[in-house]
Amino acid sequence: MDYKTDVVIVGAGIVGSAVARQLSRYELDVMVVEKKEDIGGTASRQNQGVVCATSVFSMLMYEDEHMMDPTITNLFTISNALIYPQWIADLEVKYRQIGAICVAKNQDEMDKMEVARKKGWERGDYRTRRVTKKQVYELVPQLAPGYIGGYYCPDECAIDVFDLVVAMMQNAMENGVKVLTKTKALAIDVDKETKTVRGLKTDKGYIEANYVINCCAIYADDLAKTTGYCDYRCYPRYGQTPIMDKNLPYAPTPMVRPCPGRVATGVAITPTASGNLGVGPSADNGEDKEYTATTKEGIEKVMEQARKLIPEMDLRDSVTQFTGARCCKDPSNWVIEVSHNIKGYCEAVGITQGVTAAPAIACYIQNLLENDGLQLEPKDDFQPHRKKIKRFVDMTEEERAEAIAEDPAYGTVICRCETVTEAEIVRAIHTPPYARSVDAIKRRLRAGMGRCQGGFCSSRIVEILARELKVPVETITKNEPGSEIIVDTCRK
């Protein structure tokens, strides 16, 4: 099937979703193309425990310095101070302020962090402050002995990253954006004479468009090459991450990090929006963009580093371990621009802090396109609030009674660990961006993400999906095609 639209966004990760939502404010035909079965990209999906890094200080501590050009810094500052709170309020995304502390073993590390504080200040971080040894142990009583002080930023927030992605895309779709999943962008079609974008070739048909926005993260170089211009390379950085159970006695209140060494980034202990703890991630550069696996050594190393911060950390309290592939770019600077070479080509690549920057990047791109001559007429009837699925676990007893009276399926708890009801699962299947797999349900509702890891609910979720989609259970997948869960019926 072929399509015609004004703007195609390639990649439905956090950046693509944010751009889609921002552009849905205008009288414009916008399509999003995603090669996977669900939105959420590669990095954003696996980012289930990571904090919305609000302080420039922590950026300076952990990222290559040369990516911090002034535009980017401004993006962060604007994003956090102005855009983020509004987006979170509009979209009703779960988040909580946790604060973050970097702890130092010795004066050397304190000095290093003091340099970072100064640089942070130059870039607009006025909040990160030095704390004494006593204050460090007050903030994190569980901390191992031997730390002499640290730097603390109260503004760090834990956010449910996937909920943010779903919220942005849902809101975009409610405002008219079309999303094609399981659709692989093959090449950007460029008129050789005029060097102008004509459209996008995909494995599901041709999309005629005036603008193509490359938000492919780790695959951005592959798509960029099809325009004939690409001066960078994208590669994965694998991060192994154990996720720990809720309510552990040794769970710290703020995010806790060591002062990073010259090469290795420090493993962080991160309270998540849902009340779990994320540990890690490790950081190992690789080549294979698809294949992510944990290793015994990798997980053990992460835990060993975590125990240097909190000695009680125990892998047996972990509910899952996974390896995520973060996007790295060589050279490592962020590029958010409309192409000088190809008219109608725009890209946001090299974004290593997508969770923090996505809303700001989206607003920035919208302005870039407008400056480039794209007519952006605001929609009279833009609806900034998403219609969020009412979450049983967050309801009061009165609200629960009311919800069950309205829909008895709210009275059937399917996932016990995370208290998710059948009504929510049915809604996730029928609400954009429509959940079509067990993992898609898990990401939206956390069903199966708890300590039993779907042992109890997965067999029921498979049946609910099959029933609601009116398909045989054998076709229900964990995620991508090829990940079917049931191979056959036992008795025909």
Partner 1 sequence: MLEFDVAVIGAGPAGLAAALAAKRSGAQKVVLVERDFRMGGILEQCIHMGFGLKYFGEELSGPEYAARFIKRIEEEDITVMLDTMVLSIDGDMRVIHAVNKNGVVNIKAGSIILSMGCRERTRAQVAVPGTRPAGIFTAGTAQRFINVQNELVGKKAVIVGSGDIGMIMARRLTLEGVKVEGVVEIMPYLAGLTRNRVQCLDDYDIPLYLSHTISDIRGQYRVEGVSVARIDENREIIEGTEFDIDCDTILFSVGLIPENEVSKSAGVLLDPVTGGPIVDDHMETNISGIFACGNVLHVNDLVDNVSIESEKAGKAAALFAQGRLHEKTEAISLACGENIRYVTPQKIVRGGQDDVTIYFRVSSPERNIRIQAEADGAVLLEEKRAFVNPGEIEFITLQKENLSGINAEQLIIRTVRE
Partner 2 sequence: MNEKTITCIICPSSCHITVRGSGNSIESIEGHTCKRGMKYASSEYLHPERNLTAIVKAKDYKTPVISVRTSRPVPKDKQIACMRIIRELEVGPPYEIGRVILKNILDTGADILLTNE
For residue 492, state whether it binds partner 2 (rule: CB under 8 A).
yes
For residue 296, state whether it binds partner 2 (rule: CB under 8 A).
no
Among 401, 430, 467, 471, binds partner 1 (CB under 8 A): 401
Residue type, 106: N
* Distances from the Cα of 199 to the Cα of 6, 191, 205, 207, 226, angstroms: 9, 9, 11, 5, 12
**DSSP category for residue 83:** I
Of the candidates 21, 18, 12, the one whose C-alpha atom is nearest the C-alpha of residue 45 is 12
Residue 397 partner contact from partner 1, partner 2, none using kind-dependent CB cut-offs of 5 to 8 Å: partner 1
In the bound state with partner 2, the residue whose beta carbon lies nearer, of 34 and 422, is 422
For residue 405, state whether it binds partner 1 (rule: CB under 8 A).
yes
Backbone angles phi, psi at 91, to 5 degrees: -95, -5
In the bound state with partner 1, the residue whose beta carbon lies nearer, of 271 and 324, is 324
Sole window of 44-52, 187-195, 291-299, 484-492 interacting with partner 2 (rule: CB under 8 A): 484-492
Of the candidates 19, 48, 44, 51, the one whose C-alpha atom is nearest the C-alpha of residue 33 is 19
As measured in angstroms, the least distance from the Cβ of 408 to partner 1 is 4
d(CA 279, CA 178): 36
For residue 490, state whether it binds partner 2 (rule: CB under 8 A).
yes
Among 114, 408, 471, 475, binds partner 1 (CB under 8 A): 408
In the bound state with partner 2, the residue whose beta carbon lies nearer, of 92 and 474, is 474
In the bound state with partner 2, the residue whose beta carbon lies nearer, of 263 and 487, is 487
In the bound state with partner 1, the residue whose beta carbon lies nearer, of 76 and 238, is 238
d(CA 254, CA 116): 20
Of the candidates 112, 101, 114, the one whose C-alpha atom is nearest the C-alpha of residue 152 is 101
Residue 24 partner contact from partner 1, partner 2, none using kind-dependent CB cut-offs of 5 to 8 Å: none
Residue 299 partner contact from partner 1, partner 2, none using kind-dependent CB cut-offs of 5 to 8 Å: partner 1
Among all chains, which residue has been given the structure tokens 């001559």? 373
Residue type, 298: G
Residue 81 partner contact from partner 1, partner 2, none using kind-dependent CB cut-offs of 5 to 8 Å: none
**DSSP H helical ranges for 226-265:** none
From the centroid of its chain, how far is CA 463?
A: 28
Strands lying side by side in the sheet with 185-191? 3-4, 205-208, 196-202, 185-191
Residue 63 partner contact from partner 2, partner 1, none using kind-dependent CB cut-offs of 5 to 8 Å: none
As measured in angstroms, the least distance from the Cβ of 491 to partner 2 is 4
**DSSP H helical ranges for 193-277:** 220-225
As measured in angstroms, the least distance from the Cβ of 46 to partner 1 is 10
**DSSP category for residue 82:** I
For residue 262, state whether it binds partner 2 (rule: CB under 8 A).
no
Of the candidates 211, 197, 199, 204, the one whose C-alpha atom is nearest the C-alpha of residue 179 is 204
In the bound state with partner 2, the residue whose beta carbon lies nearer, of 367 and 459, is 459
For residue 491, state whether it binds partner 2 (rule: CB under 8 A).
yes
Among 298, 324, 350, 433, binds partner 1 (CB under 8 A): 298
Contact 281, 243 (CB under 8 A): no
Tell me whether the omega of the peptide bond preceding residue 271 falls within 30 degrees of 0, making it cis.
no
Residue 381 partner contact from partner 1, partner 2, none using kind-dependent CB cut-offs of 5 to 8 Å: none
Sole window of 171-179, 376-384, 424-432, 483-491 interacting with partner 2 (rule: CB under 8 A): 483-491
Chain residues binding partner 2 by CB under 8 A are 489-492
